[in-house]
Chains A and B, each alone.
Chain A
Amino acid sequence: MAAGAHGVSRGLLAYSIGIVVFLAAPIVIVVGVAFTSADFVSFPPTGVSLRWFKRVISDPEFLGPLWNSAKLGVTSTFVSLALAVPAALALVRHRFRLGAAIQAFMLSPLSLPTIILAVGLLFFVARIGLAGTFLALVAGHAVITVPYVLRTVLAVYSGVNREVEEAATVLGAGPFRAFWHITLPLIMPGVLAGAIFSFLLSFDEVPVALLLSAPDTTTLPVSILSYLVYNYDPAVAAVSALQVAVIFVLLLVLERTFGLQRVMFTSSNK
C-alpha cells in the first residue's frame, strides 16, 4: 500500500504518524501507569497488575462522582436534544428573516472559553438560589453541548428532501406521525452523533463542574482533579484509563454510525 497512492507523500505520512504518536503519548502513558504494580507513579510501569483498578472500582471517592458524571451526561444530553432538534427543524424549513443571525447566535457558545461561562453561571445560580444543585450543572453543560447537537442535526436535516416530508403529509401522516416515521429516521445519524458527542463533552467537562458542584454532585473529572492536587499515585491513572476506555468505545460507535468527518467538518470553521 504505497503512501503515494493516497496522495500523501512518504515524508508527510511519516510526519503524521509522528504527530499521532505525540498526540497519543500522554494517554498511552497514563494507561500504562494504571497497570503498574508499584506504589508510586512510574513509567514504564515496574510490573503489571490490576491492583489499582481494583482499588479504584471499589472506592466511593471515585464511584460516586462516576455515577454523577454519568447521570449528568445523560441528563444534559437529553436536554440538549430536546432543545436542539426542534430548533434545527425550524431553522431548516423556515426562512426566518434573521435566520443567519439566529443560527450564529445559537452556535456562539462554541467559541467561548468555558471558564467565562462557568464564572457567570456561578453568580447567576447563586442569585436565583440554585447554587450547588444538579439542575445548575445540567443547565451549564447543556449550554456547552447544545450547539454541537444543533450543528450535527442541521447538517443532516439540510440534506433531507422537503418533498419527502410533504409526501408523508399528503399520504395521511399528521405532523407528529410524519416526524416519527419519516423525519426522525432520516435525521437519526445526526441525532446520534450529536448525542454521543454531547455526552462525551459533558463527561469531560471541568470548569463548569468545578465551580458549580457541591460535595454531593461532584463529577468524575473534578474528583480526579482534587485528588491530583494532593496526591500523585497510580489510582488517578486507573480511573483515567477506565474513562479512556469508555470514550474510545463511544467514539468508535460514533465513527461507525455517522463518521467523524461529518461531525468535525460541519462547522463554523468554514
Chain B
Amino acid sequence: MPAHLSIREVSKVYGGQTAVDCVSLEVEQGEFVALLGPSGCGKTTLLRTIAGLVMPTSGDISIDGKSILEIPAHKRGIGMVFQSYALFPHMTVSDNVAFGPRMARLPSRNIPELIRESLRLVRLESLGSRYPHQLSGGQQQRVAIARAIATKPKVLLLDEPLAALDAKLREVMRVELTELQRRLGLTTVFVTHDQQEALAMADRVAVLRDGHLEQYDPPRRMYDRPASAFVADFVGQMNHFPGRVLAIDGQTVHIGTDAADCRILAQRRDGIADGDSVTAMVRPERMVIGSTAPDNAANRVRGVVSTTLFSGETTHCIVETQLGKLVVAERSQDRTADDFPHKPGSEITIAWRVEDTHMFPRT
C-alpha cells in the first residue's frame, strides 16, 4: 500500500518568479521525509504540486512509477494535512473524518468503523460528535490527521502541521506523529521551517533555499556533513570564520583569518585551492574548553569568557577571542560545581579537532 514517490526536475514559475527550481527527490516506500527551509524557499509550493493543487511548469511527479501530473487532485489518492487544519466547520468531527471515504463511495456500512479506527489512532475516539469550533488547537490538528489518513492514502502530506501549536504541545505531537507514521508505514512528506523538528522526525531531510534543493540526506549525516554553507548554518548552530586559504600541507588546510597570528586548520577537500576565499565553521559542541581538550585538538585559541547561558541540559558559553565571539556548548553535567559556570572575565583556552572544522567556498 505505501507508495514510492518520485519527483523529477520539478519547477514552478509564477510570472517572473521561480518558486521551485528543478528539484528532484525520491521518497521510498514508508519513508518520512521533511522539506526544510526558510519562508519563501518553495517547500509549500512543492508540496502543493504533489497534492495536485498546483501544476508544475516543468518536470514530472510519479507514484509507483506512474506519472500523476495528468491526474486531477481529487483522484490522486493522497492525504493532506493543511497548516490551518481546514476542518469543515459545518460538520462534526465524525463527518469530517468520514468525508474522504464517502467521496470514495465506500460502502456506508464500513464507514463508521473507519471513522472509529482513525479517531482511535489519534486518540480522539470520544469527540466524534463535536464541532471543530468546540475543540482546542491540538485536538483540531489531530482531527485533521485522522481525516487525512481515513482514506488510507498512498502518500501523506503535511504542511507545517505543528506550527500553530504551543511549544510543549509541539514536543508531544512530534513524538506522536512520528510513532503514528511508523505504525501506519505511510510514505510521508512534511514541510517545516523548524530544523529541530525536521531532524527529530524525518528519515531524510531535504533542505530548500530559493527553490533549490541544497541537500537531501538523513538527519545525522546532514548535521555532521552539511553540503553547503547554507545548510551548515541553517541546520544546527555554527561558529563562523570567514578567511582565506594560506597553504595546503598534505591533508591539512591552513586558513588565515583577519586575526593576525591565528590560523584555523581544516581537512583538505576537493575544489578548494591555495588562495581561495572560504568560510570555516565549527559546531559549538565540538569546541572544548580548557584542560579536557583532547591532544589531537590542533585548533587552539585563547579567550576571555563574556557570558554563560544555562539552558538545562546544555550550557552555552560566549567567549571573546582573537577569532571573534565564539559560542561553545557543553553538557552542563560535564562540569563540576567548582568551575561551573565559567566566571565572566576568566581566561580560558578553546580547542577543537581538525576534522571538526567545516569549510565552504565563499562567494
Which residues in A have some Cβ–Cβ distance to B below 8 Å?
161, 163-164, 166-175, 177-178, 181-182, 185-186
Contact = CB atoms under 8 A, between A and B. Distances in A.
Contacts of B73: 166, 169-170
Contacts, number: 65
A163 B78 CA distance: 15
A171 B84 contact: no
Nearest to B157: A170
B75 interface: yes
A164 B53 contact: no
A163 B84 contact: yes
A9 B79 CA distance: 57
B86 A166 contact: yes
Contacts of A177: 103
Given A182-B88, A186-B90, 5 more contacts: A163-B84, A166-B73, A167-B88, A169-B74, A173-B99
Given A166-B53, A185-B90, A172 B82 contact: no
A161 B103 contact: no
Contacts of B72: 174
Contacts of A171: 74, 79, 99-100, 103, 147-148, 151
Given A168-B99, A182-B88, A186-B90, A173 B82 contact: no
B86 A163 contact: yes
B61 to A, nearest CB: 15
Interface string B224-248: 0000000000000000000000000
Contacts of A178: 74
7 contacts: A163-B84, A167-B147, A169-B52, A170-B51, A170-B78, A181-B99, A185-B90
B74 A174 contact: yes
Question: Which one of A163, A166, A167, A170 has the highest number of Cβ atoms from chain B below 10 Å of its Cβ?
Answer: A170
A167 B86 contact: yes
B332 to A, nearest CB: 43
Contacts of B74: 169-175, 178
B89 interface: yes
B86 A164 contact: yes
Contacts of B103: 168, 171-173, 177
Given A163-B82, A166-B82, A167-B82, A172 B151 contact: yes
A170 B104 contact: no
A166 B86 CA distance: 8
Contacts of B80: 166-167, 170
Nearest to A173: B103
Interface in B68-100: 72-76, 78-80, 82-84, 86-90, 99-100
A169 B151 CA distance: 13
Question: Which one of A171, A175, A177 has the highest number of Cβ atoms from chain B below 10 Å of its Cβ?
Answer: A171
A163 B89 CA distance: 12
The 8 closest A-B pairs by CB, nearest first: A172-B103, A163-B86, A167-B86, A171-B100, A163-B82, A170-B80, A164-B86, A169-B73
B84 A170 contact: no
Contacts of A174: 72, 74
Nearest to A166: B53
B160 to A, nearest CB: 12
Contacts of A164: 86-89
A108 B207 CA distance: 50
B89 to A, nearest CB: 7
Nearest to A174: B74
Nearest to A177: B103
